[in-house]
Amino acid sequence: MKILLTGSNGFLGKLILKELENQNEVLSLSRSSKHYKISLEKSIPFFKDKFEVIIHSAGKAHSIPKTEIQKKEFYEINVIGTQNLLKGLNNSTLPSQFVFISSVAVYGKNIGNNIDESHPLQAKDPYGKSKIEAENLIINWCKQNNVICTIFRLPLLIGKNAPGNFGAMVKAIEKGYYFNIGKGTARKSMVLAEDVASLIIKAAAIGGIYNLTDGIHPSFNELSLAISKNKNKKKPLSLPVSVVKWLSKLGDFLGDKSPINSLKLIKITSDLTFDDNKARTVLNWRPRSIINYIEDNVI
């Protein structure tokens, strides 16, 4: 098949490209692509090729904006960028399938267990709101044009040299300054980026909205212990919750200068897991365990 992949230089995009390029003709769209070199938030692309599948992986990743400009970037890149992609496709031959890489951030939850796809989309932060708007744009466009629509709502992505919170955790353990809070029992959903990449083509032909996780939702203690063994480091220390509560109150006063505050403490010590039974039933989703992957691979 001829496939257009946006965000091919991102962490997940690179893995999608690696997964698909041997058996398909994959053309990329990014700021530095050799095929379609473009910034979607600034321009509407002109497509000279006919694509059967669009995989829209480009976007501004989850982070906490510190300025109004950074908040605006989420809208420009994730929403305006999606609008411009769809406008470009309107001016060319339409694909039969469209896959969008979204996020569990659309649910707007910091605490909860087994949140499934039927949960209301309640995000209030700039990132989550931008993903909701992009999802709606794509869903409506696909309905209007009779295109099969697939949306993956992803939690924390895991893999070799992963960015974001997992990469920061690995670095902290390597350098010896990571610690768990209390017993580190809070469980979080996460998923192997390679497993997501391997599911895309199968899901694209079926359509639907899916949470994807490893189904085990490791605790901070389990995760930090596995990373420590992988990196041949000592088991991370733990700080009593009472001590961290005091530090978090100090962090509330200090603001952005502090690595911890009351809100972060609640997030770190609370479960946040998502239900992926729909993907297991409809797509026969059979992901690998995050802990087993860390134990057996270089990260």
What are the boundaries of each domain within the chain? 2-159+191-215+273-288
**By C-alpha distance, which of 131, 53, 130, 66 is closest to 93?**
53
- At a CB cut-off of 8 Å and minimum separation 6, what does 67 contact? none
258 backbone dihedrals φ, ψ, rounded to 5°: -95, 140
- Rounded CA-CA distance 204/142 in Å is 12
Q: Domain 2-159+191-215+273-288: state its class.
A: alpha beta
Residue 131 in this model has a pLDDT that exceeds 80: yes
Q: By CB neighbour count within 10 A (0-12 exposed, 13-18 middle, 19+ buried), where does 74 fall?
A: buried
Please report, for residues 162, 247, 254, the alpha-carbon distance to residue 242 in angstroms, rounded to integers and kept in the order given: 32, 9, 19
pLDDT band of residue 55 (cuts 50, 70, 90) is very high
Residue 256 in this model has a pLDDT that exceeds 80: no
Q: What percent of the chain lies above the pLDDT cut of 70?
A: 99
Residue 187: DSSP 8-state? B
The predicted-structure confidence for 225-255, as pLDDT tens digits, reads as follows 999 999 999 999 899 999 998 889 888 888 7
The pLDDT value recorded for residue 279 is 98
Kindly report the pTM of this predicted structure: 0.94
The predicted-structure confidence for 77-116, as pLDDT tens digits, reads as follows 999 999 999 999 999 999 999 999 999 999 999 999 999 9
Residue 107: DSSP 8-state? G
Q: How far is CA 118 from the centre of its chain?
A: 19
Residue 125 in this model has a pLDDT that exceeds 90: yes
Buried b (16+ CB within 10 A) or exposed e, 25-54: ebbbbbeebeebebebbeeebebeeebebb
